[in-house]
Amino acid sequence: MAGQVFWEDVSEGSEITALVKNPTTRQLVQYAGASGDFYEIHYDKDFAESTGLPGVIIHGALKNAFLGQLVTDWAGPSGVVKQLTCQYRGMDVPGQPITARGTVSRVYQENGENLVECQIWLENAQGENTTPGSATVALPSRKG
């Protein structure tokens, strides 16, 4: 985890440090148990293929969690995620890295908070954006 990011140090266009994840089928089984999402396309290759998929695919909610980790790691221990959304536009598969990325799109103050809006997304191993999203984060000020 990186150190604390302060509102004064962020500007529009700033990049968020990328986060590379290497999901495995085992992780998908563990996530299924933790989330209660036991749809077989996430851990049973034969079942997934019988539905027309190339194999098992990563849970959408797990991809959302990876984006959440990207933002919380970047915001640091005193940052607060106020909003996080994403859309599932492509399928990601275990055994291939996926990279969470982001950029700052707006820096502003509202109702006494120092806010930062970010565009975030997941890229598959081919560099395709499979999961676009956005986040709003409240950051601390260096002024206290």
Give the pLDDT of residue 2: 55
Count of CB atoms situated within 10 Å of the CB of 142: 10
Beta-bridged to residue 121, according to DSSP, are: 101, 132
Assigned domain for 2 exists: no
Assigned domain for 143 exists: no
Assigned domain for 92 exists: yes
Q: How far is CA 111 from the centre of its chain?
A: 27
- Residue pair 6/140 in contact by the 8 Å Cβ criterion: yes
For the domain that residue 45 is a member of, what is the CATH number?
Answer: 3.10.129.10
Residue 134 structural domain: 7-138
Assigned domain for 121 exists: yes
The structural domain count of the chain equals 1
pLDDT by 10-residue block (mean), the chain, 144 residues: 86 97 95 93 96 95 97 97 97 96 98 97 97 98 88
Give the pLDDT of residue 138: 98
Assigned domain for 144 exists: no
Give the pLDDT of residue 144: 75
Assigned domain for 19 exists: yes
Assigned domain for 122 exists: yes
Assigned domain for 87 exists: yes
